[in-house]
Structure 1
Amino acid sequence: MDSAARIAVVGVGNEYRRDDGVGCAVVAGLAALGAHGGLPGGPDLLLCDGDPARLIAFWEGADLAVVVDAAHARPSRPGRVHRLEVSGGRLHSEHPTSSHGLGLGDAVELARELDRLPRRLVVYAVEGADCSLGRGLSAPVRAAVAPLVRRIADEVARYRRGAPDGSPGP
């Protein structure tokens, strides 16, 4: 993969809605890692409130876009991380998993229709426990942040090395 490939990491959420701020926390962790030389290639680190038009603008033209968002699942296991790679299949569901009014699936499908999806789109959805008003992640979601930061940094590094399929690369 070209070392000049554009990589965008987008943290979706609202840090004033407790676990909904997990995307913000992961982006902050990646920024701190990058400040210490631990994030190769300087991906664009972006924050988004979940607005589909902003998400599309952030990932448009990217070779790799990684999106981190809070999710709801039943049964719930707060802190559990789901990795989804968006390709030809639909991400949209009848019950959006995002904690926002319009789900991430809506943004993906709109971008697909407008031919504005990144070359590769990876979504990390972190199950939350508490999206009430206030700051601070619940303990299980907070515990998921550091391992997810490392996982995304490793994925970016593998992509930079030319292994977009997740293999160790050349």
Structure 2
Amino acid sequence: MDTLVLGIGNEIKRDDIVGLEVVAALETRLDSPDVAFETMNSGRLMLIDELSGHDQVCIVDSIVTEDGEPGDWYVFDPQAVEPDKESGGLATHNVGLGTLTTLGEAMGESMPGITIYAIEVADPFEYGEGMTDPVREALPDLIDDIGEEIERQLLAA
């Protein structure tokens, strides 16, 4: 089974880099010929090309929730994080992964099963270098925990 582990983030936005950092660390940990690792600074419609052709994709990205603490992490199905009317509805800059998969299939692309690993951050929009202390301190555990979860997912496939 061909799997892509994809980190999404921005290295000039403090905590938003966490997805890139986790995936970079996992690349050395999950050494397998059936697993590819990539990072992207942007998502959106460009993801169709990145996702297409893989059997499975694990996306690691940052998130801010109402009750979460920086360093918490969650596993989501793409349908669970679709934009709604409260977040501005559907537009090219906030296309959800469920919609993206549907669009890719409508365009004749082979779209994978997707699992999202979302890491709670303090502020994914603050420009600057270096993660905030709570996220930086959680990084080793995030790499271990998310790495173990992805390994279990790969073994189950």
TM-score interval w.r.t. the shorter chain?
0.7 to 0.9
RMSD of aligned Cα (Å): 2.4
Q: How many residues align?
A: 147
TM (normalized to structure 2)?
0.78
Deviation digits for residues 79-122 of structure 1, max 9, x if unmatched? Answer: 11111133xx45313255xxxx934x524312223314743211
Give the Cα separation in 1 of the matches to 2:68 and 2:148. Answer: 27
Q: Structure 1-normalised TM-score?
A: 0.73
Residue aligning to 1:39: 30
**8 A Cα contact 1:56 1:117, kept in partner:** no
Question: How far did residue 14 of structure 1 move?
Answer: 0.3
| Larger helix fraction of residues | 2
Do residues 146 (structure 1) and 140 (structure 2) align?
yes
Q: 1:20 aligns with which of 16, 23, 31?
A: 16
1:69 corresponds to = 61
Aligned ranges for residues 42-61 of structure 1 at < 5 Å?
A: 42=33, 43-61=35-53
* Per-residue deviation, 1:28: 1.6
- State the Cα distance separating 1:152 from its structure 2 match: 3.7
Q: Percent identity?
A: 27
1:168 equivalent in structure 2: none
* 5+ long unaligned stretches in structure 1: 165-170
Match of 1:125 in 2: 118
Give the 3-state SS of the residue equivalent to 1:114 in structure 2.
Answer: helix
Q: Could you list the per-position Cα deviations for residues 49-93 of structure 1 after superposition, in whole angstroms to 9, with x for gaps in the alignment?
A: 22323322222111110111111211342111111133xx45313
* Residues in 1 aligned to 2:64 and 2:30: alpha-carbon distance in whole angstroms: 29
Asked whether the 8 Å contact 2:104–2:111 carries over to 1, the reply is no
Distance 1:52 1:155, change over 3 A: same
